[in-house]
């Protein structure tokens, strides 16, 4: 007897009519495999998982719904029996929604050193700038009463931040200027001139942020704060009277941050230790945790609004629960142990390795069922850099078990191996799945080089990028996190860095890494992306994010 097993196809949307309209609009969704009637697990979701609660009719090929309150521009998805359809864009008119602000870069200008009266951004220190972005040039010096008197270079008009100068009697001085109209493609030649000598050192940072698509940015406020008493959990700068949905930049403050999430939510802690608040409507002072209790920070904050004013940003689909970088330990084919924060259930676990001996992860146990990619164009890659066989590899769990506090890792050989470990949560309860990966060796030895390009099949992913750059790299652009207590975003000395982008949207920009040691050695990069079932699509990232590599 022969049995034929057939698999039902999932729902497919072919069109929306109309494809735009305000909340309350009746929309006909045409397609296939919707089911003859609406089942208990069948839904129509507008962008940000806003369910259509008014369903006028439902058939196998046509559904009529009303655009629900709270809907914003983005993909409409039909789910039948837990299986999601493709997404088709619906534009909500009269809506105050927007994809929001985009982090572009926060790079330390580390070649300005000693007792100086000016600081110039040289080649290999910032990524090529993007059209329409805002820039901030911020400095910190030990001499008191020192301000930035002028900034030149990069085009546009540089403006002194009104309330960014802070003079800490028990610490240092900080100040900042900003530019709303700088030239795209700028990679060097921006100079800050000081009112006096810096003292024994100068610390400088260059920030770049991009306003929502179709909008222009303007200054919205600034503030400063300092602690006369030593603190470990310190209060940042407050800004009163914000008039839009803003981006707020808080400088690192002069002391090493305590951990990857040192700045209180909704701020993120960048690899440079700064606090960045994307799409914020409150200028309330955050807190920041420093390593040790002897820090006297001097903090400044500057906020920018867009021409959209106040808008509703997307709800994040992913959040980082934990990040750990160990800096290196002896690991062998017999195994080594990595201590991690206790895991929660149902999360994505991601592990990257790096060493200078050409070894790779072969197995991992603890916290769930691990997958170890291998073969060409995967996260497993080795290359001769600086006379050593530098290597990287990865492993992942798609649904973690709760309570794991350590991982047992076996390697293909014995080496001093460093690990970067991540735990990521789906805020919508989606189930993680692998999307895509890739890697390549960059032989250009350029000052700026691209990360790994990835073609996503998911509509909104978590993307990890790794770069191996002997001597260290700044950046990359668009990937703000993590801050590592080792150094910046490195997990293997100052050579291998692991970074993350949550809520990538369907077409994430390719990151650009900066390489001050250009001309010395090749570099290599890897990229791995994960998505979730039932997730809704974010709008495409703003236009103009294609890397310009010089």
pLDDT class of 452 with cuts at 50, 70, 90: very high
Q: Does residue 313 lie in a domain region?
A: no
CATH number at residue 36: 2.60.40.10
Instruction: Give dist(CA 70, CA 321) in Å, integer.
Output: 27
Please calculate the CA angle 394-507-451 and round it to the nearest 5 degrees: 45
What is the average pLDDT across 278-307? 93
375 contact partners, CB below 8 Å, separation of at least 6: none
Q: Does residue 6 lie in a domain region?
A: no
Instruction: Give dist(CA 417, CA 332) in Å, integer.
Output: 9
Q: What share of the chain is helix, strand, coil (3-state, %, to 5)?
A: 0, 45, 55
Q: 545: helix, coil or strand? A: coil
What is the average pLDDT across 519-528? 88
pLDDT class of 500 with cuts at 50, 70, 90: very high
Question: Taking every pair of C-alpha atoms in the chain, what is the biggest distance, in angstroms?
Answer: 92
Instruction: Give dist(CA 118, CA 112) in Å, integer.
Output: 8
pLDDT digits (tens, 9 = 90+) for 4-48: 434 457 899 999 999 988 888 999 999 999 999 998 778 898 875
Q: Does residue 544 lie in a domain region?
A: no
Q: What is the pLDDT of residue 549?
A: 38
Q: Which of 63, 92, 121 is the last residue of a domain?
A: 92
Q: Which of 244, 272, 306 is the last residue of a domain?
A: 306
The count of structural domains within the chain is 3
Q: Identify whether residues 158 and 293 lie together within a single domain.
A: yes
Q: Identify whether residues 88 and 106 lie together within a single domain.
A: no
With 80 as the cut, is the pLDDT of residue 280 above it? yes
Q: What is the pLDDT of residue 486?
A: 83
Q: Identify whether residues 106 and 189 lie together within a single domain.
A: yes
Decide: 367 and 321 in contact? Cβ < 8 Å.
no
Give the residue from 158, 21, 40 showing the smallest Cα distance to 94: 21
Q: Which residue, chain included where needed, has tokens 């916290």?
A: 367
Q: What is the pLDDT of residue 5?
A: 39
Tokens of 333: 């084919």
Tokens of 177: 């200027």
pLDDT digits (tens, 9 = 90+) for 87-129: 898 888 765 667 899 999 999 887 788 899 999 999 989 999 9
With 60 as the cut, is the pLDDT of residue 258 above it? yes
pLDDT digits (tens, 9 = 90+) for 164-211: 999 999 889 999 999 999 999 999 999 999 999 999 989 999 999 999
The DSSP symbol for 481 reads B
Q: What is the pLDDT of residue 550?
A: 36
Tokens of 125: 């220190």
Residue 230: burial class (beta carbons within 10 Å; 0-12, 13-18, 19+): middle
Instruction: Give dist(CA 508, CA 33) in Å, integer.
Output: 31
Q: Does residue 464 lie in a domain region?
A: yes
With 70 as the cut, is the pLDDT of residue 70 above it? no
What is the average pLDDT across 484-501? 86
Q: What is the pLDDT of residue 95?
A: 57
Q: Identify whether residues 57 and 116 lie together within a single domain.
A: no
Q: Does residue 549 lie in a domain region?
A: no
The DSSP symbol for 427 reads T
Instruction: Give dist(CA 482, CA 365) in Å, integer.
Output: 24
Lowest model confidence (mean pLDDT) among 168-182, 337-351, 379-393, 481-495: 481-495
Q: Identify whether residues 159 and 256 lie together within a single domain.
A: yes
Q: Identify whether residues 443 and 527 lie together within a single domain.
A: yes
With 50 as the cut, is the pLDDT of residue 372 above it? yes
Q: What is the pLDDT of residue 49?
A: 66
Phi/psi at 6 (5° precision): -110, 145
What is the average pLDDT across 501-520? 85
Residue 349: burial class (beta carbons within 10 Å; 0-12, 13-18, 19+): buried
Q: Identify whether residues 175 and 70 lie together within a single domain.
A: no
Q: Which of 92, 121, 141 is the last residue of a domain?
A: 92
Give the residue from 149, 110, 138, 103 showing the smallest Cα distance to 126: 110
pLDDT class of 535 with cuts at 50, 70, 90: very low
What is the average pLDDT across 253-275? 94
Q: Does residue 369 lie in a domain region?
A: yes
The DSSP element (H or E) to which 390 belongs, if any, is strand 388-397
Instruction: Give dist(CA 6, CA 19) in Å, integer.
Output: 34
Q: What is the pLDDT of residue 485?
A: 86
Phi/psi at 500 (5° precision): -135, 145
Q: Identify whether residues 157 and 235 lie together within a single domain.
A: yes
The DSSP symbol for 271 reads T
With 90 as the cut, is the pLDDT of residue 508 above it? no
What is the average pLDDT across 47-67? 88
Q: Which residue, chain included where needed, has tokens 């970088």?
A: 325
Write out the residue range of the structural domain in which residue 49 sits. 12-92
Beta-bridge partners for 417 = 329
Give the residue from 355, 529, 367, 347 showing the smallest Cα distance to 434: 529
Q: Does residue 539 lie in a domain region?
A: no
How much is the pTM? 0.82
Taking phi over 0 as left and psi of -120 to 50 as alpha, with beta for the rest, 504 belongs to alpha
Q: Does residue 4 lie in a domain region?
A: no
Decide: 30 and 14 in contact? Cβ < 8 Å.
yes
Decide: 154 and 170 in contact? Cβ < 8 Å.
no
Q: What is the pLDDT of residue 419?
A: 96
With 90 as the cut, is the pLDDT of residue 366 above it? yes
Instruction: Give dist(CA 454, CA 438) in Å, integer.
Output: 7
Q: Which residues of 118-138 are buried (b: 16+ CB within 10 A; e: fewer)?
A: bbbbbbbbbbbbbebbbbbbb
Decide: 64 and 55 in contact? Cβ < 8 Å.
yes
Residue 6: burial class (beta carbons within 10 Å; 0-12, 13-18, 19+): exposed
Q: What is the DSSP string of 335-360?
A: -EEEE-PPP-TT-EEEEEEEESB---
With 60 as the cut, is the pLDDT of residue 66 above it? yes
Question: How many secondary structure helices (H) and strands (E) does the chain include?
Answer: 0, 42
Q: Identify whether residues 341 and 292 lie together within a single domain.
A: no
Instruction: Give dist(CA 382, CA 391) in Å, integer.
Output: 4
Strands 20-21 and 88-92, by their bridges, are parallel
Q: What is the pLDDT of residue 94?
A: 65
Q: What is the pLDDT of residue 8?
A: 54
Instruction: Give dist(CA 53, CA 46) in Å, integer.
Output: 11
With 60 as the cut, is the pLDDT of residue 289 above it? yes
Helix (H), strand (E), coil (C) string for 145-168 = CCCEEEEECCCCCEEECCCCCEEC
Instruction: Give dist(CA 27, CA 18) in Å, integer.
Output: 6
Q: Identify whether residues 426 and 322 lie together within a single domain.
A: yes
Give residue 70's Cα distance to chain centre.
Answer: 26
Q: Identify whether residues 328 and 357 lie together within a single domain.
A: yes
What is the average pLDDT across 241-263? 94
> How big is the chain by its Cα radius of gyration, in Å?
25
240 contact partners, CB below 8 Å, separation of at least 6: 221, 223, 283
Instruction: Give dist(CA 451, CA 521) in Å, integer.
Output: 16
Give the residue from 418, 462, 446 showing the smallest Cα distance to 513: 446
Q: What is the mean pLDDT of the chain?
A: 90
Phi/psi at 49 (5° precision): 60, 35
Q: Identify whether residues 330 and 441 lie together within a single domain.
A: yes
Length of the chain: 550
Q: What percent of the chain has pLDDT over 70?
A: 94
């Amino acid at each position: 007897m022969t049995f034929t097993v057939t698999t039902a196809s999932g729902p497919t949307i072919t069109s929306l009519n109309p494809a735009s309209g305000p909340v309350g609009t009746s929309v006909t969704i045409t397609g296939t495999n919707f089911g003859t009637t609406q089942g208990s697990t069948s839904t129509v979701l507008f962008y940000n998982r806003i369910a259509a609660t008014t369903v006028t009719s439902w058939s196998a090929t046509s559904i009529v719904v009303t655009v629900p309150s709270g809907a914003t521009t983005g993909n409409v998805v039909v789910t039948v029996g837990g299986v999601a359809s493709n997404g088709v864009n619906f534009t909500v008119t009269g809506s105050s929604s927007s994809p929001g602000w985009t982090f572009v870069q926060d790079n330390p200008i580390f070649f300005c050193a000693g007792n100086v009266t000016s600081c110039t951004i040289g080649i290999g220190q910032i990524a090529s700038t993007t059209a329409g972005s805002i820039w901030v040039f911020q400095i910190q010096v030990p001499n008191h009463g020192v301000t930035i008197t002028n900034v030149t270079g990069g085009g546009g008009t540089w403006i002194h931040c009104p309330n960014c100068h802070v003079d800490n009697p028990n610490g240092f001085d900080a100040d900042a200027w900003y530019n709303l109209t700088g030239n795209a493609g700028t990679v060097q030649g921006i100079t800050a001139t000081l009112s006096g000598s810096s003292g024994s050192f100068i610390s400088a940072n260059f920030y770049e942020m991009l306003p929502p698509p179709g909008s222009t940015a303007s200054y919205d406020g600034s503030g400063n704060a300092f602690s006369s008493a030593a603190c470990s959990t310190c209060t940042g700068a407050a800004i009163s009277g914000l008039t839009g949905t803003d981006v707020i930049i808080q400088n690192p403050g002069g002391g090493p941050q305590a951990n990857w999430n040192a700045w209180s939510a909704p701020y993120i802690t960048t690899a440079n230790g700064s606090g960045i608040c994307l799409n914020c409507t409150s200028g309330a002072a955050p807190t920041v945790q420093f390593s040790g209790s002897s820090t006297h920070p001097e903090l400044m904050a500057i906020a920018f609004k867009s021409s959209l004013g106040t808008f509703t940003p997307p709800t994040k689909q992913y959040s980082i629960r934990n990040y750990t970088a160990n800096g290196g330990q002896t690991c062998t084919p017999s195994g080594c142990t990595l201590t991690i924060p206790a895991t929660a259930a149902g999360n994505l676990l991601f592990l990257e390795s790096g060493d200078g001996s050409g070894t790779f992860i072969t197995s991992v146990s603890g916290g769930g069922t691990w997958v170890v990619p291998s073969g060409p164009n995967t996260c497993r890659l080795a290359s001769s850099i600086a006379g050593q066989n530098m290597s990287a590899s990865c492993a992942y769990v798609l649904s973690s078990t709760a309570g794991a506090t350590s991982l047992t890792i076996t390697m293909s050989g014995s080496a001093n191996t460093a690990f970067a470990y991540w735990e990521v949560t789906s805020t919508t309860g989606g189930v993680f799945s692998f999307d895509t990966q890739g890697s390549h060796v960059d032989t250009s030895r350029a000052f700026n080089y691209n990360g790994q390009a990835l073609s996503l099949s998911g509509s909104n992913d978590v993307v990890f990028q790794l770069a191996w750059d002997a001597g260290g790299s700044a950046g990359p652009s668009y990937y703000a996190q993590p801050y590592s207590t080792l150094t910046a975003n490195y997990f293997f000395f100052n050579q291998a860095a692991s970074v993350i982008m949550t809520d990538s949207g369907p077409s994430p920009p390719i990151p650009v890494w900066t390489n001050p040691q250009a001309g010395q050695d090749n570099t290599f990069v890897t990229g791995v992306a994960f998505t979730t079932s039932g997730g809704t699509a974010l709008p495409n990232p703003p236009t103009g994010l294609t890397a310009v590599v010089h």
